[in-house]
Structures are given as C-alpha cells and as structure tokens.
Structure 1
C-alpha cells in the first residue's frame, strides 16, 4: 500500500492529499463490490494521489460512481473538477447551495482569494476546473444514494458552512463530517485518544446551527467520525460523544471570547491570540506538551477561526 493511503476497514481508505503538511487534509475512498466513491478530494494538487490510490487498489478510473465534496471550500472540493476529467462514469453530488460553485467556480475562487491572497491561491490550489453541469447534481436532506447497493445517506449539516452536507455510512456506523465535527490532528493524539477543536473558518460559521447539526449526528449513535482534518476518530459511541462535548464546549468559549472583544481595538490580533492560548491550554489538559511545534500548527487555525468569528460578529451587528 502506498504510504499516503490508510486502510480504515469497511472498504474505507483515507488518502493524505499532501495539502499544507502530512496528515492535515484527507480525501476518502470508499470501495464496494468493485465500485468506488470519493468523499472530499483535496485540491488540484491531490488528484495524482487520488488516481494512484485507485490504481493501488486495482480499480480503473471508470470504477468510480460518485465524487462527493462535503462542502465547496477548496481544501475539500478544489480538486473535484480536475478529478472528474479522469473519471468517465462518475457523477458529482453537491449540497444544493454549493452546486453552482462546482459548475462555475469563479465566485468560489474570488471568495477564497479574499481570504488567502493571490500568491497562496496559486501555490496551494491552482486553477479551478468546472464540473460539467450534466455530471453534477444537488443532494437533499435525507437523500439516499447507493454504491454497489451500499446505502449512503445525506443530511443537511450547517454550522461550519451553509453549503455543507454530511454522509452516513451504516456499514461502518460512521459519518463523513467534512468540517462539521471539527478538526482532529493525529499528531495531538495521546495514548490513542484524540483531541478535537472547532473550525469557524470564514464566512458562514453559525454556532447555533452547529450545535443542532452535532445533535443530529449523535442521534444515530455513531461509533466513528471520518473528519477531513484528519482521519477517523472515535472507536465507540462513548468516545464520539466525548469528542462532541469537547468540541461544543470550545465553541462556547470561542463565541464568548469573540463577544468580549466585539468593540476592542486591535480586535483581530487579540482574538487570534486568545484562541491560540485557549487551544494550547486545552491541548495540555489533554496530556500533550503543546510546545512550539503545536503552537505553529495551530496558529493557522487560530487565524482562520478569528476571521470567521469576526464575520459572525459583524453579521450580527448588521
């Protein structure tokens, strides 16, 4: 097996897309009865790895039936259009609010450009490729599609973004959660136990919607969550619930911090510093030393989460 592919069991493979740093961004490949589906794709730069994973598992490109971004943020969906060019039988399934952005990614590019700047966009994402309209379709809440008879159930899952769906796989009793169930980096595991933090990346973070979505995810008693950043977490119903409680407690802390700084001068820098301090404190409580390397890795999340929280504050003010 190639070193960027991890067999998670139940016909599910996590593929490290190579984005930013090792084990930061996952695409998932599900295989059933000789047919396949990708859930999240990473960026354009990930496409060679995705195709190599197919080949490593003895699957031809025409074995792929579905390409499913959980939402259209570029670390999840930036490679969809380019990947689809290599998969002659695949169809793309997209949240209805995100469908137009897969067919015409111009607005998606401009929105990300405003957050990251031109240099980073060129380096990390590359030119976005549209998906032909006839090969893309919108999902709807409680829709079920099948992969070689294996049911995949979609639910609308706002909170991180309004154009987000999550996918339930009854075989593995797990959800593919994109960013709805937060971020959990394997480098922060302690004695096999995961640590998790929320993501409020711009521009549609909604804490109340997120709480409702998490409650809906937990209602199925999942034994694992397949998060894009990074990999499978959980292992039991109890562990998934522990992670959910940890994440939602931090949502409350993040929102309270943002509200306390609503009118503060230098709000962005103070919010970013406060978030980073909170994450490192939580990480130490988890049993991790949370040294300079951890601070460096979490600095990007603190910056993006601060930006998203500021959008939330300014939206409420209007």
Structure 2
C-alpha cells in the first residue's frame, strides 16, 4: 500500500489520510523516546494508513499512548474508534463536550447524515465505532499529558466548534490547531505565502469566540501551526491577521444580507447569496496574493468549503435572529 507521509522535524510526521483528495486531510504522528501519539485520525478509511505509518517508524500498536482528536467532526475523529481497537494501550484524549459522541456516536452520525445526506455519509465515513468509556480522558483547559517525557498542553478553543481544543507542543513551539486556525491547502500556496480560509461549518460558529481562541494561540508566540487541512505553516502572526480579516468580512457580509431582507425570500436564496459573497472574498484575496490558478481550479479546491461555510453562517444568522 502506498502511504503518503512526510517527516517534518521534532519527531512529527504528517500523514495524508486520503480523504477527499491528496493533501486535504491530515493526521499527525508524534514520536518521543519510543512512545507515540496520533493527533486527528481522519475517517475510518484512513486507519490502515495511520497504522502503516506507525510501522514505517519502527513502532508497533502497543507503543501508542494517545489518540487525540482536536474535535469530533468526522474528518478529524471519524476513525477514532476503529483505530483505538488496534491500539491496546492508547487512551483517547478529547474535549469534554466530545466524550459522549465518541462513547456513543449514534447522535453524531445522525448529525452527519443531516448535513451530507445518508448516501454521502455512508460512502465517506462508514459506521462509527464507539470507544469504551474507561479508555477516555476528558481534557481540562490547561491540562498537560506526557508523551515519553514530552509535555503536550491543551487549550479549549471554541469558535469553529464548542468541542474544540488545540494542543501546544513546546518542543516544536507549535500548535496542533484542527480547524481553529482555518484551512491552508497546498494548492493555494501563493508567491506571498500560504492562503488561509476560515472554517465556519455548521453548527457552532462563533465569531467572537474564534477571535479569542486565535489570539490565545498567538499569545504563546508559536513559530508554526500544524493544520489538519493541511500541514505545517509558518509565520502564524501574519496568517492570523489574514484569517481574522476574512472571518470578519464573512460575518459582515452575512449581516448585510440579512438586513437587506433576503431572509424573507427563503433560506435557499440566502444560501446562494452567501456562497456568492464568500467566493468573491476568497478569490479576491487569492488574486491579491498572486495566485494564478484559473477560476475553475479554485472552485474545485474551495467549492466544498464555500458550501459548508455558507451553511455555517446561515445557522449563525438564524441563531442571532
């Protein structure tokens, strides 16, 4: 089996889970003094890749101490239960709001079917495997776990989702950010550097909380961020300004549409308007950074996120109303 993985440094490897397209969805393998942890898993279909990457490092399943999803969205945590079945000593370390979804994933699966439809949910995610409660550790804000003597500290970071936490790795001076620091697809790297897209998918986007979470991450003066979508990025301070500028532009545009009375024309019309506005925001920013990809390619790369972000901002508008 061909497994794409890239060893970065500081004992960190980024693994392409194979979900959606190449270099879209990552799991991270951390190795310290012969002990290992996975941060995010991808969906069930990614589990063989994760185990193969572990083997390529000369490690075995009992060498894994932790499986750490940043949050329970299935591109991050869908394979947790299946992976845990293969790791006899590993503990699942998860935000307390996510515990129930990992020990009894029925409601989570129903939510996924509601967003994507039953056929797509079955195709992309399969059936979730529950994790025994006695193997689950719920994080507290500021909690530290040791991996082979290496400290990993947790910060609760709402904004994308209330069940989101990030992991600070002092050894590399980097954060594993899940979706809290947006998405930076390699195809969209420009002459000006990576391009970060906000992740405001349904149903828990919170503009103020996201600002607070990003500012909290920056307070550690990180030198890098490890994004699930996708890979390591440098210069977090610059990228954070770009990210938050777009978050605010999206929120302002959504409010303007609501104030213009589009809600009265029905949610489908509003959704299409949100998609149009968000596409304009992203494509304009990319052009200003020197991106030369044609519009069809940009639509292929960003179409899913435009759709999900429009759904998320629609839910946010309705809650505000």
Deviations 1:208-258 (A, max 9, x none): 000000110000000000010000001xxxx21010000000001000111
Secondary structure of 2:67's match?
A: strand
Secondary structure of 1:109's match?
A: helix
Q: Does 1:82 align with 2:86?
A: no
| Partner of residue 133, structure 2 | 133
Query: In the alignment, is the contact (CA less than 8 A) between 2:160 and 2:205 conserved in 1?
Result: yes
Residue 190 of structure 1 deviates from its aligned partner by 2.2
- Give TM-score scaled by structure 1 length: 0.97
Q: Does 1:283 align with 2:286?
A: yes
Residue 193 of structure 1 deviates from its aligned partner by 1.6
Query: In the alignment, is the contact (CA less than 8 A) between 1:280 and 1:290 conserved in 2?
Result: no
| Partner of residue 315, structure 2 | 311
| Partner of residue 255, structure 2 | 259
Quote the Cα distance in structure 2 between the aligned partners of 1:65 and 1:57: 15
| Partner of residue 91, structure 1 | 91
Q: Does 1:231 align with 2:231?
A: yes
Structure 2 unaligned regions, length at least 5: none
Quote the Cα distance in structure 2 between the aligned partners of 1:25 and 1:3: 13
Residue 295 of structure 1 deviates from its aligned partner by 1.4
- RMSD of the alignment, in Å? 1.1
Q: Does 1:215 align with 2:210?
A: no
Count residues with an aligned counterpart: 313
Residue 2 of structure 1 deviates from its aligned partner by 6.0
Q: Does 1:189 align with 2:189?
A: yes
| Partner of residue 17, structure 1 | 17
Query: In the alignment, is the contact (CA less than 8 A) between 1:2 and 1:53 conserved in 2?
Result: no
Secondary structure of 1:152's match?
A: strand
Quote the Cα distance in structure 1 between the aligned partners of 2:184 and 2:98: 25
Q: Does 1:299 align with 2:303?
A: yes
Structure 1 unaligned regions, length at least 5: none
- Give TM-score scaled by structure 2 length: 0.96
Query: In the alignment, is the contact (CA less than 8 A) between 2:153 and 2:169 conserved in 1?
Result: yes
Q: Which runs of 4+ in 1 moved over 3 A?
A: none
